[in-house]
Structures are given as C-alpha cells and as structure tokens.
Amino acid sequence: MFDNFQICPYTGLRSFTEEESIYFKGREENIEKAIEQLQSNKFLMVTGASGDGKSSLVYAGIIPNARAGFLRSKYTNWVVADFRPERTPFKNLCKSLSEQLEIENTDTVESELKHGFSALIDLYKNSPRHLDTDSAEWREADDNGKAVLKRKSANLMILVDQFEEFFTNPENYNHGAPSRESNLVLNVLLETSRIALEEDLPIYIVFTMRSDFIGQCSAFRGLPEYIGFSQFFVPRLNRTQR
C-alpha cells in the first residue's frame, strides 16, 4: 500500500530541522562559508531577510555538517544548546545548557551564570563534556574508564535562534533599553565566545537574526563589534540554487 508513497521535501513556511537536512539543497556554498567563519571566530551572527532561511541554514546545514566533521574541532561529538529568547531568555538559556551539559538542576546553572560573565566556561569545563587529561579522574582511570570519558566529551555549540525576540518582547527590551536579564545573557555569551577564541576551547556561539534589527543591536554593549567581526548574511537563492 506504500508503493506510491512519496516524501515532500518542502517544509512550507517553517524551518528545516536537522533530521530534514537530507532535503536541504542549494545552500552548499553558503554552508561552507558560514562554517569557515564559525571555525575561525567561534562566533557567528547569521542575518538575512525574513523567510530567507537563516534557521534552516543552521539547523539543516551548519549543525549536521559539524557533526559530520566538516567543522573541525577538538572532539568528534557535538552537543547543541539551542533556544529562542521568547520572554525569558535567561531561563531558556539555562534550561538548554543544563540538558546538554548533563547538569541535573537548572537552578544550579542559573546561580552559576549570575556569578560572572565567564561562568559558562567554568560550567563547561566542569561538565562531562570537557575532557581534562590533567585531572586525577583521567590519570587514575583504566582503559575502559578513559573510553567512557572520551565518549562523553563533546564540542559545545550554543544557538540563539531568532535573536530579534530580544527586541520584539517588552520583557526583554523596553523604551530603547534591554532588560537586566537580556544584558546578562548577551554578556555571558559574548564573554564565552571571547574566552573560547583566546583559549582555543571547542565552544561556538551562533545567533540567527532578521537583518532589519541590526540597528537595535547597538543597545547591547560589544554586540555591534562582534557582528562586524563575524557576520554571515544569507543571500536569496538564485535560479540554479532553486
């Protein structure tokens, strides 16, 4: 009864997911360039017009290609802490991090990230995702124990999808000024990116945002400089790509 069943490769108005990457075609050159920037800079702001495929480029392009080894990094495994800001960006970030770093209590992540802008780096280094070959745990482990530690280790990608929600929700941005929570999230992520680049840690920060919100980014200290440092503008598909 399924002989004539066919899969439609078009997702309509929603973004492609990682599981649908096999159907995501026409952006190969864009994906390659975006990965090159992310690998070099540890940070990438993906911008473009509404509906031009920013989220699809990341979920169905950058992420599966990273897992396949095209984004060269320290470990072979990848974990992706992705979230949308919505009306509670800090809680959403902490929830995603606790899941991907295998930290049971989200409150622990929230408490730690409030201690300093470099706290996310410490969370990663103290998690099973980071393999510290100088630690007593590694030195005292037998071959099987070391194999287990290696399997748990992973590069970390933090994805803030639809960054413009920092501006479109009054809880995050009001009267031209970002909220305290919004500032905290941005400062933590930008500092994490800076330290990851400085210490060559396998942590990567990716934002997707509609290009018409570029002007509002000046409300966040340091963000315009990071956008200038590493931005990828998603072009419209040409006839051949379509």
Share of the chain above pLDDT 90, in %: 74
- Return the ∠ at Cα 61 (arms to 82 and 152), rounded to 5°: 50
pLDDT at 197 over 90: yes
Determine contact, residues 130/136, Cβ cutoff 8 Å. Answer: no
pLDDT at 129 over 90: yes
For residue 182, give its domain range. 34-233
Q: Confirm whether 14 is domain-assigned.
A: no
Alpha carbon 21 to its chain centroid, in Å, reads: 17
Q: Confirm whether 29 is domain-assigned.
A: no
Q: Confirm whether 5 is domain-assigned.
A: no
Average pLDDT score over the chain: 91
Tokens of 99: 């899941």
Number of domains in the chain: 1
**pLDDT confidence band for 194 (50 / 70 / 90):** very high
Least confident of 53-57, 62-66, 238-242: 238-242
Q: Confirm whether 15 is domain-assigned.
A: no
Least confident of 117-131, 139-153, 199-213: 139-153
Q: Confirm whether 52 is domain-assigned.
A: yes
Q: Confirm whether 241 is domain-assigned.
A: no
SS3 101: coil
> Domain containing 176 — which CATH number?
3.40.50
Taking residues 212-226, report their average pLDDT.
96
d(Cα 9, Cα 66) in Å, to the nearest integer?
A: 22
Q: Confirm whether 46 is domain-assigned.
A: yes
Per-residue burial over 57-76, b = 16 or more CB atoms within 10 Å of its CB, e = otherwise: bbbbbbbbbbbeeebebebe
- pLDDT tens digits for range 60-96: 999 999 999 999 999 999 999 999 999 999 999 999 9
Q: Which amino acid makes up residue 234? A: V
Q: Where are the beta strands (DSSP E) in 32-175?
A: 43-48, 78-83, 155-160, 173-174
Taking residues 9-25, report their average pLDDT.
75
Query: Which pLDDT belongs to residue 19?
Result: 84
Q: Confirm whether 6 is domain-assigned.
A: no
State the pairing for strand pair 173-174/43-48.
Answer: unpaired
d(Cα 219, Cα 236) in Å, to the nearest integer?
A: 28
User: pTM for the full model?
Assistant: 0.91
